[in-house]
Structure 1
C-alpha cells in the first residue's frame, strides 16, 4: 500500500517542486488508509442545495466512488474529475442504482458556489453528492481515511494526493485508485469489489473471481485460490464419474453381445 501511495504522491511532484513547501512537507502528502479504515458515517456536510447531509446519507447503502477534491484547484482536480466522470460512464453500471458518487471538498474555505463551479457540466445529478464541510468535519474525514495534505501558504493552495477511493456500503475503504491513470475496467472492478458481488449481475460476480488474480506476483489471492481448488476437485470428480459410467455401460453392452 505504501509503495502505491508514494507513486500517487509522485504524480504531484512537478507542481510541488515549484511550490513553497519543504521536502519534509512534500513527503507527508499521500493517501495511506489504515487497516480497516472506515468513513465516519455520522459526519455532517452541506450539499449543493444547502442541506445538511451525513456521509451515511450520501452513500445511501451503495458501493461508492469517493473523490476528495479542492474545488478551487487549477491544476489536478479538474482533469481528475473529468477522467472519473468519463470512466464511470464506461463502466456499464447505473448511477444511483449500482453505485454512488461522492465528491467532498478538502478545503473548508471553499464555498457551495465554488463546488458548483467546479462540478458544473462535469458530472450528472443522479446518484451524486457534492459536499462541503467545516474545518472539523473535513479534518475528521481525511484523518479517518489516511488522506494527507499540506497547505502551501505562499501560493494559497493545498498539496494533495492524486487519488480516489472506492467505499463499501458500510463505509469501509476498499481500494485506492490513481485519479490520473483511471481506466474504466479498473473502476468497474473496484466498484464491483466494493459491492461484494451485489451489483453487476452474474457477469460482475464472474469478473470478481478474475479480479482475485494478483498480476504482479502471478498468483491468486488465498480466497480465490481456495475457490479454484474446489472447482478443480469437483471437475475431476465429475469426469471420473462419467468415465466410470461409460466403462460400466461398455461392459454391459459387451456381456449382452
Structure 2
C-alpha cells in the first residue's frame, strides 16, 4: 500500500493553484498511509443538515470507502465523485448493508450548501455520509490516512491528490486507490478485503483467495501461482489420503 501511495501520479490540482504554490509545496502532495494506519472514530463532523455526526457513526461498523474532496472543485473532484459513484453501482454491493461511503470536505471554508450542491444526484441514501468539519478535524483525519494537500490562499484554491482509502469496520486503512483510474472490479475487491470476508458471500471469499492487490499499479491481479500452489497442495493431500485408505483395505483383505 505504501509503495502504491508513494508513486501515485498526482496531477489533480487546478492551474490557478499551481500558480500560487511553490515546487516544494506541490512536491509534498500525496497519499501515503502509514502501516496499520487507523482513523479516529470519535472525530466529530456535521452532515449536510447541520446534525453532529462522528466518523464512527458514519462508518457504521461496515467496510468503508473514505473519499476526501474539495466541495468547490469541479475540475477534478466532481468527475472523481462521478467515477466513484458509477463504480460503486457496478460492484454488486449495497450501501448501508455491505459498505459505507463517507465523503468529507478538505476545505473548512466550505459550507453545507456547497456540500449539497457537490453531491447532488450522485450519492445519497442509507450508508452514505457527506461530512463537513472544522480545520482541526480535517487535519486530524487527513493526517491519520496520510493524505497531504495544500491550500493556496492567494488563488482561493486547494491542491490535492485525487485518491481515497478503504477502511475496515474498525477504522483501519485497508488500501489506497486513485479516484480517476478506478475500475469497478478493483473497488469491489477492495471493499471485500476491507470487510475481511464478512460481505460478498462465498463468491467474494473465493475471489479474495484468487486475487491480490498490486501496490505498484493500484489494481487487483489474479494470483495464478498462489492458486496453483493451493490446488496442487489439495491434490497431494487427497492422493495421500486415498493411498493410505487403499493400503489399509489391502491389509485387511490379506489378514482375512
TM-score, normalisation: structure 2 = 0.87
Identify if the C-alpha distance between structure 1 residues 169 and 153 changes in structure 2 by more than 3 Å, giving closer, same or farther.
same
User: 1:207 maps to what in 2?
Assistant: 207
User: 2:42 maps to what in 1?
Assistant: 42
- How many matched pairs? 252
Whether the 8 Å contact between 2:18 and 2:159 is mirrored in structure 1 is no
Distance 1:215 1:102 in 2: 23
Identify if the C-alpha distance between structure 1 residues 84 and 215 changes in structure 2 by more than 3 Å, giving closer, same or farther.
closer
User: 1:107 maps to what in 2?
Assistant: 107
Identify if the C-alpha distance between structure 1 residues 182 and 216 changes in structure 2 by more than 3 Å, giving closer, same or farther.
closer
> Which has the higher mean CA deviation after the structures are superposed, 113-122 or 19-28?
19-28
Give the 3-state SS of the residue equivalent to 2:45 in structure 1.
Answer: strand
Whether the 8 Å contact between 1:9 and 1:162 is mirrored in structure 2 is no
Distance 2:155 2:9 in 1: 19
TM-fit CA distance, 1:242: 2.9
Whether the 8 Å contact between 1:16 and 1:159 is mirrored in structure 2 is no
Distance 2:72 2:19 in 1: 16
TM-fit CA distance, 1:125: 1.5
> How do 1:124-163 and structure 2 match up within 5 A?
124-163=124-163
TM-fit CA distance, 1:104: 0.4
Distance 2:97 2:152 in 1: 39
Distance 1:33 1:215 in 2: 12
Give the 3-state SS of the residue equivalent to 2:130 in structure 1.
Answer: strand
Distance 1:213 1:79 in 2: 25
User: 1:24 maps to what in 2?
Assistant: 24
User: 1:237 maps to what in 2?
Assistant: 237
Identify if the C-alpha distance between structure 1 residues 40 and 23 changes in structure 2 by more than 3 Å, giving closer, same or farther.
same
Identify if the C-alpha distance between structure 1 residues 80 and 212 changes in structure 2 by more than 3 Å, giving closer, same or farther.
same
Distance 1:128 1:216 in 2: 30
User: 1:171 maps to what in 2?
Assistant: 171
User: 1:62 maps to what in 2?
Assistant: 62
Question: Deviations for 1:200-224, whole angstroms, at most 9, x for unmatched residues?
Answer: 000000011122375979996xxx9
Give the 3-state SS of the residue equivalent to 1:158 in structure 2.
Answer: strand
Identify if the C-alpha distance between structure 1 residues 8 and 162 changes in structure 2 by more than 3 Å, giving closer, same or farther.
farther
